[in-house]
Amino acid sequence: MVERRAVMVERDIAGRGVRDPGVIVAMETVPRHLFVPEHLAEFAYDDNPLPIEEGQTISQPYIVAAMAEAAEIKPGDRVLEIGTGSGYGAAVLSRIAGEVWTIERHCPLADEARRRLQRVGYDNVHVICGDGTLGWPENAPYDAIVVTAGGPQVPTALLEQLAEGGRLVIPVGPETRGQSLLRVTRHGEEFREVNLGPVRFVPLIGEQGWVEPGSEPLFEPTPIVPPPRREGLAGLSDLVRESSEPFDSINRVDLGALMDRIGDSQVVLLGEASHGTSEFYRMRARITTELILHKGFTAVAVEADWPDAARIDSYVRHRAPSGPRFEAFSRFPTWMWRNREVREFVHWLHDHNAEIDDPARQVSFHGLDLYSLYRSRDAVLTFLEKHDPAAAAVARERYSCLTPWEHDPAAYGRSVVTGEFEGCEDQVVETLTDMLKKRLDYAAAGDDAFVEAAQNALVVANAERYYRVMYYGSRDSWNLRDQHMFETLQLVRSYRGPDAKVVVWEHNSHVGDASATEMGARGEHNVGMLTRRQFGDDAYLVGFGTDHGTVAAATDWGGPMERKRVRPSHPDSYERVFHDTEVPAFLTPLRHPHRVELREELDEPRLERAIGVIYRPETELQSHYFQARLPHQFDEFVWFDATQAVIPLVTHELEGMPDTYPFGL
């Protein structure tokens, strides 16, 4: 645990810009695994919040460190903490300050925190059960007060308990969905406020806070200082407008200048800010047709499963499907690829390839993702049964290890992590290895058939690992998935020829360079980051954004598709900057901007919205926004101020279609 704690501090604390030596030492010293429930101890040094008793959470380590640094705590300081939780934050503060008082409104939590602190021998921390919004006047004044919950305004009681020169760090916002982190410093009877940026905390409950989560405050919020003026934002929006290329129709947009900027790029990554917005799909299709017709692109690779995309590939290249029969794109979320927008593009590809006699010049269609564990398994067995029945029998026996979890792959990972089941890693890797060793023996099957089968075997191996790793933390599973998608992209280029050009369709969170976002600070990489490392300027990354409209999404994983209304963008977001241009749709070059100062002006980190297949507008700030530096994340940004949900395919539209039709029932 000591080594993991050191890695966490280097990667997630110092690596994200915390510089205070006292804070660094405190984070290296305090054993976080002793402040979380025992069954979550293995996740203690991931930079994530974790659930604790009484339905509460322990803050992620970076937030604890950042708030401690913001409070400018010195040795000997008297510190008050509001919101004890598990006691971890107070423990960190106690390694810097002279004495710490911490208040928790849940008495069982306070008792457990007291026991944990005593267990590690931190005897300069005093735990109190009470209303934190009232502070603890018995031991005031305090050199620093740290509040770990978001209130509607700064409680007057806490201001009164600050010592001269004392610092109060607190999240404040008019809604419980998100706040601004403030540092308030006392100078006599004057309180000077600094806004440290947007944050997301649980509500501060109490007499001078929220009555209960989601309710109105007991008094009308009044800020200590007037809210920030908007001249800077308006000026930035003017600069964006002057640096952009507006258009009024996706069908009529002139993409000549964009094609010039793309130049001789070998890989073009086209993003989306949601998985269910019509304009994003249609604009990607429009750009892709230009790349195919005028730039010689011969492959489209998308955020979809390999065997499902292979059905489209067979259709657009006028080939008979080679794998087992199944209903393509039938797993959640079906609307992501079974929609009218994708169907129109697939029909265009089908017609385009019909005019090309040379198969090497036809445009192929591929899936990059790894969720098709069992469908890929079936494809491998179908190939082996046709070309190597003996190997098929061995593979079937090996793959039978996975059969009990066919209807819930996530349960497989859970059973392995908890020790209930040994796992199938060796079996699936052996099947892949055997196939690769016998490549020459399978030459008679043809390169296309072998590549399809071998990639499906790789999908099985990586998917098996993915479902195990996902229980060890989000960073590892995210990195495994994006590494797989990048390696599949490389495979597609190799398969289509050494100079093949590929266009990629994925979410912004995959195609934008992760090193320019908080993902990179968490140690996560993605396809965009890996592609830039590999191709440099021969990769062109295009992001998409919107302010408001509708989106096809679910409320929960596996739930039904809903046509949800997208909330107007957050005031501290890039989306608000683009919305305030008052231009309905435009392209903004970022690598080579029309106004050279644009990159510098947009470089200040801001919030950026990401809606996936799940959309929860009621918790939008917590669930769908992240910090980013847009000019470093993308080479180009496509903006649609108002957008509409994709139109999913319905049964009557598919009746009478041939068996080879990829969207067939």
Q: Which amino acid is at 578?
A: F
Q: Which amino acid is at 149?
A: A
484 token code pair: 């797989």
Which has the closest alpha carbon to 616: 261, 200, 219, 265? 200
Which ranges of 331-388 would DSSP assign to H, the alpha helix? 340-354, 373-387
Which ranges of 470-573 would DSSP assign to H, the alpha helix? 474-496, 508-511, 518-521, 527-535
Q: Which amino acid is at 466?
A: Y
381 token code pair: 């067995």
163 token code pair: 């010592």
Cβ burial, residue 418 (10 Å; 0-12/13-18/19+): exposed
| Residue 621 vs residues 153, 341, 533, 615, 641: alpha-carbon distances, Å | 18, 29, 31, 11, 19
In whole angstroms, give the CA distance from residue 225 to residue 553.
40
Spatial CB neighbours of 20, under 8 Å, sequence gap ≥ 6: 68, 69, 72
Active site annotation includes 59: yes
Spatial CB neighbours of 425, under 8 Å, sequence gap ≥ 6: 464, 465, 468
Q: Are strands 178-187 and 162-175 parallel, antiparallel or unpaired?
A: antiparallel
- Which residue is it, tokens 């495994």? 480
At 648 the three-state DSSP class reads strand
Do residues 67 and 148 touch, judged by C-beta distance below 8 A? yes
Which has the closest alpha carbon to 367: 274, 553, 540, 491? 491
Do residues 541 and 637 touch, judged by C-beta distance below 8 A? no
- Which residue is it, tokens 């509500």? 203
Cβ burial, residue 528 (10 Å; 0-12/13-18/19+): buried
Which has the closest alpha carbon to 102: 70, 126, 131, 66? 126
Do residues 464 and 417 touch, judged by C-beta distance below 8 A? no
In whole angstroms, give the CA distance from residue 137 to residue 158.
9
Spatial CB neighbours of 311, under 8 Å, sequence gap ≥ 6: 321, 328, 662
Note the residue count of the chain.
665
Q: Of 59, 94, 314, 573, which is the active-site residue? A: 59
- Which residue is it, tokens 């892949």? 432
Residue 44 carries which DSSP code? T
- Catalytic residue numbers read 59
